């Protein structure tokens, strides 16, 4: 018998929508809802054009569209500057100083938006590239991540990190960075981090785990995580990273396999999400 999700507030913790290249906000939300999803956490996509704030404004419009047109879905957002924007600017000949100034201006704008919009619940995704870059770009990325953490601490919100594949070393480093600016590590989410739930418990960083094989392994060890697809909504790359329906389907599978029970599903999709973002589902 298939597990019933109707009473479980299934949350996808990291998803993108794109009305230009993909299905767009309303259709993505409807597909998610029809698959059994209840709550979407959306993040602005990078523009790769040097426009660092336009995608944040677009995300707000997309969230407002879903809230107005799709009943039965709760939707929240995080705004930030993707670390690959830094690489794009440097590759286009912008100096490190200019790049840092523009990214900080954009992050200050993100701060203002989170303070103004009750449905914006954090800063993200911010961090550093997930591939090898020059020492200068790496150093700048870490400086900007630290600045982003300061903003999250000042306004009391969560922060989602984009970074290289996480191991114990990264969890320790992100914890130490957060502590250095008095940000509670429990409010720092490492997006796309394998099945590193025990490392998360050890250092206080909160894992957001991709809803494929890693989440099966994670759930066997601990329920201190949230689930994500990192869906990018680009029809040229259908289903990348994972498809819209994956989190509801994977949750149903975990229930059917007996890896989690209904109480465990509530913890992952409701209690953990509420605690991270100071919201009620």
Structural domains for the chain: 11-277 (3.20.20.140)
What average pLDDT does the segment 204-211 reach?
97
Mean of per-residue pLDDT scores for the chain: 96
Please, how many CA atoms are within 13 Å of residue 163, restricted to the half-sphere of its CB? 26
What average pLDDT does the segment 178-195 reach?
97
Nearest one of 13, 11, 85, 90 to 45, comparing CA atoms: 85
Kindly state the percentage of the chain with pLDDT values over 70. Answer: 99
Q: Within the chain, where are the H helices?
A: 25-34, 54-69, 83-91, 96-116, 135-155, 168-180, 197-203, 213-221, 246-256, 262-266, 272-277
SS3 160: strand
Question: Do residues 268 and 21 touch, judged by C-beta distance below 8 A?
Answer: no
What is the tens place of the pLDDT at every residue in 224-265? 999 999 999 999 998 899 999 999 999 999 999 999 999 999
pTM given for the model: 0.96
pLDDT band at 1 (very low <50, low <70, confident <90, very high): very low
Contacts of 249 (CB under 8 A, 6+ apart): 35, 36
Residue with tokens 């959306």: 42
**Radius of gyration of the chain, Cα coordinates, nearest whole angstrom:** 18
What is the tens place of the pLDDT at every residue in 36-68? 999 999 999 999 999 999 999 999 999 999 999
Kindly state the percentage of the chain with pLDDT values over 90. Answer: 93
Torsion sign over Cα 222, 162, 13, 210: negative
The pLDDT of residue 166 is 78
């Amino acid at each position: 018998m298939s597990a019933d999700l109707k009473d479980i507030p299934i949350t996808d913790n990291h998803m993108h929508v794109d009305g230009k290249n993909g299905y767009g906000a309303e259709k993505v939300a409807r597909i998610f809802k029809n698959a059994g999803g209840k709550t979407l956490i959306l993040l602005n996509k990078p523009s790769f054009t040097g426009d660092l704030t336009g995608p944040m404004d677009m995300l707000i419009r997309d969230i407002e569209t879903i809230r107005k047109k799709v009943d039965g879905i709760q939707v929240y957002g995080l705004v930030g500057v993707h670390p690959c924007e830094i690489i794009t600017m440097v590759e286009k000949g912008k100096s490190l100083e200019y790049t840092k100034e523009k990214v900080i201006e954009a992050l200050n704008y993100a701060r203002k938006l989170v303070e103004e919009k009750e449905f914006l619940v954090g800063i993200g995704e911010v961090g550093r590239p997930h591939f090898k870059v020059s020492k200068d770009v790496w150093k700048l990325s870490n400086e900007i991540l630290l600045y982003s953490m300061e903003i999250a601490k000042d306004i009391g919100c969560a922060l989602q990190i984009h970074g290289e594949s996480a191991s114990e070393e990264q969890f320790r480093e992100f914890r130490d960075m957060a502590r250095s600016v008095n940000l509670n590590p429990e409010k720092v989410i490492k997006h796309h981090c394998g099945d590193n739930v025990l490392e998360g418990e050890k250092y206080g960083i909160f894992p957001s785990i991709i809803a494929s094989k890693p989440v099966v392994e994670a759930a066997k060890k601990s329920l201190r995580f949230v689930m994500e697809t990192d869906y990018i909504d680009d029809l040229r790359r259908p289903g990348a990273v994972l498809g819209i329906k994956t989190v509801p389907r994977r949750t149903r599978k975990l229930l059917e396999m007996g890896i989690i029970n209904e109480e465990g599903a509530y913890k992952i999709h409701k209690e953990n999400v509420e605690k991270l973002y100071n919201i009620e589902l």
